[in-house]
Structure 1
Amino acid sequence: MRDELPPGMPEKNLVFRNIGPKSPQRRSFNGSAEEELAAFRKVKKRSAADDMLSKNITQILENLLKSYENSQMPTHGQGIPTVVKTNILIRSMGPVSELDMDYSMDCYFRQYWRDKRLSFHGPIKSLSLSIKMLERIWRPDTYFYNGKHSHVHTITVPNKLLRLSQDGEILYSMRLTIKAGCLMQLQSFPMDRQSCPLVLGSYAYSRQQLIYQWQTDDSVNFVPGLSLSQFDLISFHQKNYTFARREGEFSVLHVSFNLQRHTGYFLIQVYVPCILIVVLSWVSFWIHREATSDRVGLGITTVLTLSTISLDSRTDLPKVRYATALDWFLLMNFIYCIATLLEFAGVHYFTKSHTC
């Protein structure tokens, strides 16, 4: 509603002005432009910082490798050995083969050592390097003493990690699949326990040049939920010791995995069927002694069935020079079945002789 005019003032001399807030659309447009400009300046500043950081990293690496000799150990000429610390994270384990006396495992294998020739100062505490740098620096010649066949995963790229810290400490990590030998004692098979070792050390450097150590007391770890199809992992023990070879004494790391076999498969596939077959052979005791063909047929059938089960149960076992617990069990079953046949033969013979 228009306010009343002062007396004597004409209406045509009035000028109406908008003294309220500015247009919301213009303020929104100006604010959006300022935000975009600030974001652009921030991105540009960050890009410049990244470029500067990249140049610094390249310069640091070039300065470090300018006079670096990768054929010499980090402690060359100092009279002390280089120490390599190790830890292992096991992702999966198995299969365990009794026939080949070996086992397989998939793991992350990590090695740490310090090379003061590669220490640096700069804004970065550690550098993640390309694996191509491995060819330009010294690294330990670690190998597995009881390894049969091991390889590095290469899909989609070689699964390796190289990291350098300011103090010259190097982390060299890789993902490996290892097939290692495991000498098994099968006297108690299939209710046996096995201890499968993994032994690693240097191929060429003696203890006076290179020493291996576990990084901590718990340097061997497993991913949660790890399980084996035929065994339970009861425990494992790690240690380091000196191994004497013809070339000298070498530092060695050793971890042994104590495994207990599952007996469920053998109970279902071997023990229970064999017991039932033996019980079945005793049915001939209730068959009339004059039914010769029935009793002989039943006895021979049980013996042949036991032979089939015995051969099948030894398919995945090596031809060892001693008898296993399963062999003794099968032998006792054979004795019971054959004794049933012999009992019938004796009864039939003496009955017939008395009749005559």
Structure 2
Amino acid sequence: MFQTKTMKFDQAPRYHHCVCFTWCINCWFFSCQEYTMTVFLHQSWRDDRLSYNHTNETLGLDSRFVDKLWLPDTFIVNAKSAWFHDVTVENKLIRLQPDGVILYSIRITSTVACDMDLTKYPMDEQECMLDLESYGYSSEDIVYHWSGNQEEIHGLDKLQLAQFTITNYRFMTEMMNFKSAGQFPRLSLHFHLRRNRGVYIIQSYMPSILLVAMSWVSFWISQSAVPARVSLGITTVLTMTTLMVSARSSLPRASAIKALDVYFWICYVFVFAALVEYAFAHFNADYMKKQKAKLKASRQSGEVNVKNAIVLFSLSVAGVNQELAISNRQHRAPKSLPGSYGSVAVETGETKKHQESNQEKKRGLKSLFKPIDADTIDIYARAVFPAAFAAVNVIYWVAYTM
């Protein structure tokens, strides 16, 4: 044992120091890939140079004595920033027991890095760590371990987090190997977090579901009400776009595709599909109207052609009769004249066969691309869209919550 008379109190003793840690948390805030916490860090070790026997009372030392004592050079390995509190005085406490055991308590606020996997956001569960390590003393000089009665984190039962619920935590002791410096003791606090989903269901999921359901209202609106259906479809699409943009502004920035992004796009596709459905139904309705108009015009044209054929036939018969009468007078056989009855009959038969073959070809092509009645499309959409959306929701929630 090294004699205290030959050393100053601010020098490290030449034997193993055992530093015990106790946590007391009173504030915790999480953001993207980091969290900020305010803790009371209690460190305890024994320094025989400071033992005394003239009294059994524990001495409370002022924070001004901190600079005169040897202190472990503990630092937070994964901290981005940290600071001590000094209002109204420095939040430091030193208690000295007769056997030389020192209790050193400090209040720290630190922003600590935490690598979060956000692919299942906001149904994600995270594991964050807080690593403590000696900066300059290796395992040959100092030993770290958690206090023996460290069964829980003090203040955790009263701690309420806005975004997460702490489901479990554990303490670990590790030995870090560095080739150039040796082995350094490290204490780690691992805590498991489950994100609170209620606020996301109210703010993001429910409005998206209602917007998709509102887009289905157009299936019950008449096809002739073009302004009503178009305005409803465009309104739902624009509202869904606004909801996506506003929600993404509050989401943590990450390159990964998050579960909430996937759901937004699912809803956006269904809303946009409802608008496309009306465009398709309206196109079919307009096409069928044009086809009916063409059919009516062709029927009228056919009737005119029949009347013209009858007139031509009558004129042809009259011409043949007149020719026969003239031939009888002149005592010679009638010649076959162009435009006679026989030629008319032959030409009419050939033309009819050609027209029938063309009509059969057109019917074969039309049967492949037969338009569907617009009302029938709406009837199918009333059943297909809700069923498809329900099936996609089941797949989505099972995939991201299991």
TM-score interval, smaller chain: 0.7 to 0.9
Q: Relative to structure 1, is the Cα distance of residues 127 and 222 closer, same or farther in structure 2, using a 3 angstrom cutoff?
A: closer
What residue number does 2:166 align with?
Answer: 233
Q: Relative to structure 1, is the Cα distance of residues 117 and 219 closer, same or farther in structure 2, using a 3 angstrom cutoff?
A: farther
CA distance in structure 1 between the partners assigned to 2:272 and 2:149 by the alignment: 57
2:247 to 305, 313, 323: 313
Task: Indicate conservation of the 8 Å contact 1:88/1:219, yes or no.
Answer: no
- For structure 2, the residue ranges without an aligned partner over 5 or more in a row are 291-402
Q: Does residue 173 of structure 1 match 2:100?
A: no
What residue number does 2:347 align with?
Answer: none
Task: Indicate conservation of the 8 Å contact 1:89/1:220, yes or no.
Answer: no
What do the CA deviations read for 1:28-50 (whole angstroms, capped 9, x no partner)? xxxxxxxxxxxxxxxxxxxxxxx
- Percent sequence identity over aligned pairs: 36
Q: Relative to structure 1, is the Cα distance of residues 219 and 158 closer, same or farther in structure 2, using a 3 angstrom cutoff?
A: farther
What residue number does 2:274 align with?
Answer: 340
How far residue 70 of structure 1 moved from its aligned partner, in angstroms, is 4.1
- Aligned AA for 2:170? H
CA distance in structure 1 between the partners assigned to 2:60 and 2:261 by the alignment: 57
1:107 to 13, 34, 39: 39
What do the CA deviations read for 1:247-292 (whole angstroms, capped 9, x no partner)? 3321000011211111111111111111111010011111222222
**Pairs within 5 Å for 1:192-271:** 192-216=124-148, 218=150, 220-223=152-155, 224-246=157-179, 247-271=181-205
Query: How high is the TM-score relative to the length of structure 2?
Result: 0.67
What do the CA deviations read for 1:117-172 (whole angstroms, capped 9, x no partner)? 22222124322112221111211111101112222211111011111122211111
CA distance in structure 1 between the partners assigned to 2:163 and 2:18 by the alignment: 38
Q: State how many pairs are aligned.
A: 286
2:208 to 274, 285, 289: 274
Q: Is the partner of 1:221 in helix, strand or coil?
A: coil
Task: Report the RMSD for the aligned CA atoms in angstroms.
Answer: 1.9
What residue number does 1:160 align with?
Answer: 92
What residue number does 2:123 align with?
Answer: 191
How far residue 219 of structure 1 moved from its aligned partner, in angstroms, is 5.4
**Pairs within 5 Å for 1:17-166:** 67-74=6-13, 76=14, 78=15, 81-93=16-28, 95-98=29-32, 101-166=33-98
- For structure 1, the residue ranges without an aligned partner over 5 or more in a row are 1-63
Task: Indicate conservation of the 8 Å contact 1:240/1:251, yes or no.
Answer: yes
Q: Is the partner of 2:153 in helix, strand or coil?
A: strand
Task: Indicate conservation of the 8 Å contact 2:55/2:98, yes or no.
Answer: no
How far residue 321 of structure 1 moved from its aligned partner, in angstroms, is 2.3
CA distance in structure 1 between the partners assigned to 2:240 and 2:42 by the alignment: 51
How far residue 325 of structure 1 moved from its aligned partner, in angstroms, is 1.2
What residue number does 2:288 align with?
Answer: 354
Task: Indicate conservation of the 8 Å contact 1:199/1:252, yes or no.
Answer: yes
- Aligned AA for 1:267? I
| Greater C-alpha Rg | 2
Q: Relative to structure 1, is the Cα distance of residues 171 and 219 closer, same or farther in structure 2, using a 3 angstrom cutoff?
A: farther
Query: How high is the TM-score relative to the length of structure 1?
Result: 0.76
Q: Counting strand residues as a fraction of each chain, which structure ranks higher? A: 1
CA distance in structure 2 between the partners assigned to 1:217 and 1:118 by the alignment: 24
